[in-house]
Amino acid sequence: MKNIINIIFASIIFISASYAGGPWTQQKGVGYFKLSQWWIEFDQHFTDTGELDPNITSGVYNTAIYGEYGISERFTTIVYAPLFSRSTYNNQVSATTGDVLLSGEGLNSIGDIDVGFKYGLTAPGAKFPIAATLTLGLPTGATGGGELGILQTGDGEFNQTIQIDAGTGFQIGQANAYFSSYVGLNNRTNGFSEEFRYGLEVGTGLLNQKLWIIGRIGGIESFNNGALNENANSSTIFADRAEFTSYGFEAAYYLTNQIGVSVSFASAFRGKIIAAAPSYSVGVFLDLSK
């Protein structure tokens, strides 16, 4: 059960990857806002050695808002807030007798909120923009839920991530396109290991820029320098030393000049202490930059 709970919450990392804003800051007084539903359900996972193992069917479901707002031409604030987060595991049933060995449970609460501050290191309108972002992961989620005290919607620790983004825009025939990449370091408190984060993103606009198709590759590598004991109580901790390399796709369609809908998908090429199943997201957004 310890590994199951750790795997569930390591999977939440996929959410952050799906909101990479690249090196472009918002214009002053302009913003981008999104309401989305994200979920993952899985019955197997990558172990700490990268092998696949079965587990009780489990799931995480987040209803969240995401926003970017330009304070100045170079300075943008960012918020990701899971206003409703639910984590579950199903009944564990005996394969021989059909008896319920462990009753399933669920926990509902707010999730951990991320607050970010992005600063453009290059001048607005630069051909190859570069930006630095500080993201603070606030421990606003619940821990120790359920009868066994093993359900969580947050990790109970304070994260600080420094990230550098770089990218550029270009043309593919008549279509606009862009490329961006990032690297980052995540400091985790309460004895958790620090992490190295990385990612690449490519997108192109079709149908007169109404439809945007985006592809992503990203991941996390642990420094394995934490002080947590592997036998620590899993009901009060977030997964330590989790690693993965993931790929994902998103399609965003503008219904009007500023309002649109999006669908996305992400999964892992390889991982440690993480779910071996894809995650999905659907959302509606308001883009005031247009």
Contacts of 65 (CB under 8 A, 6+ apart): 33, 34, 35, 36, 79, 80, 81, 83
Q: What is the CATH number of the domain that holds 63?
A: 2.40.160.40
**Cβ proximity of 17 and 218 under 8 Å:** yes
Residue 175 has pLDDT above 90, yes or no: yes
Residue 1: the pLDDT is 44
Residue 267 to residue 276: CA distance in whole angstroms: 8
Q: Is 118 helix (H, G, I), strand (E, B) or coil?
A: strand
Other C-beta atoms within 10 Å of 127: how many? Answer: 8
Report the pLDDT averaged over residues 146-152: 77
| Burial class (CB within 10 angstroms; exposed 0-12, middle 13-18, buried 19+) of 78 | buried
Residue 7: the pLDDT is 42
Residue 113 has pLDDT above 90, yes or no: yes
Residue 248 to residue 146: CA distance in whole angstroms: 32
Residue 273 has pLDDT above 90, yes or no: no
The sign of the CA dihedral 57, 58, 64, 70 is negative
Other C-beta atoms within 10 Å of 168: how many? Answer: 14
What pTM, to 2 d.p., does this model score? 0.89
Residue 58 to residue 209: CA distance in whole angstroms: 38
How many domains does the chain fold into?
1
Beta strand spans in 71-174 (E): 75-89, 92-93, 100-102, 105-109, 113-120, 130-138, 159-172
What integer best gives the mean pLDDT of the chain? Answer: 87
Q: What domain range includes position 45? A: 2-287
Question: pLDDT band at residue 8, thresholds of 50, 70 and 90?
Answer: very low
